[in-house]
Amino acid sequence: MNLQIRHACEGDCETLVGLIHELAVYERLGHEARATAEDLRRHLFGERPYADALIAEDGGFAIGFALFFFNFSTFKGKPGIYLEDLFVKPEFRGRGIGKALLARLARTAVERDCGRFEWAVLDWNEPSIAFYKALGARPMEDWTVYRVDGDALEILAARDRE
């Protein structure tokens, strides 16, 4: 294997969408994957980029990705990295590709003086949980993630006009 990890570029949007859809199917959420290459072009490479992505390649063939963005810790007074998605094609798992992607993100966090590097994992995904723990990650058991989306997001946003 000739593993290379690089930052995604605008020409990778179709490839990233394909990998995102593969991830969604793995996570049993294929019905929720609506991202298009145009969405990624606009939000990763447009006038105001909101996220960044790394692509893992073997011989020029994309075999995995990590999509992330920077957040900010008010308590630490420092930025952080939030890993939105990490995915390695099933046939390439167990070869250190996920670890290499996470190590690159950790290095980015250290180089940019980030106070933390975090992500969420589905509670049923035992292989990923074991993998993350083996790398030194720990669950944030005192925290519960909340989300507002869809109609609830529209309703909440409308309250700003009241």
CA distance 63 to 100: 12
The answer to whether 82 is a known catalytic residue is: no
Catalytic one of 26, 50, 82, 132? 132
CA separation for the pair 77, 17 (Å, rounded): 34
Cβ atoms of 70 and 51 closer than 8 Å: no
Question: Which residues share a beta bridge with 82?
Answer: 69, 118
Helix, strand or coil, per DSSP, at residue 77: coil
- Residues with catalytic annotation? 132
